[in-house]
Amino acid sequence: MGNPVTLLRNISCINLDRINQTYFIHMITIKFFASLREEVGKNEVQIVADEQLTITKIWHQVCDGIPLPAHVLMAINMEYTDSNAVVKDGDEVAFFPPVTGG
């Protein structure tokens, strides 16, 4: 196994200045469904974060400047939530358009 600092340098989202402090590294999976998948051009993304992130921050980090649509549904670990919810290590975040019936 390699040197942990060397391995961490290969992860672009981590600020190496913080490694010697008490910070946690979070692995988060983000999934996009239906028309949102087409809009953002991504199906699934995994990110590594060295800070607490809300769903809004994750959207802006992953979606390259695309504004968060007003009526998007979002979930953490298959439970609906709002855009201010804080995501934890190992969480799965899902974005999908409102569902209509008829």
Task: Give the pLDDT confidence of 25-44 residue by residue, as tens digits.
Answer: 789 999 999 999 999 999 99
Residue 76 covered by a domain: yes
Residue 49 has pLDDT above 90, yes or no: no
Residues 54-64 have a mean pLDDT of 94
Per DSSP bridges, beta strands 79-81 and 73-76 are antiparallel
Percent of the chain with pLDDT over 70: 75
CATH number at residue 58: 3.10.20.30
Residue 7 covered by a domain: no
> For residue 69, what are the domain limits?
25-96
> The whole model's pTM is what?
0.73
Residue 94 has pLDDT above 80, yes or no: yes
Residue 79 covered by a domain: yes
Spatial separation of the C-alpha atoms in residues 21 and 62, rounded to whole Å: 26
Residue 6 covered by a domain: no
In this structure, what token pair is assigned to residue 72? 């998007």
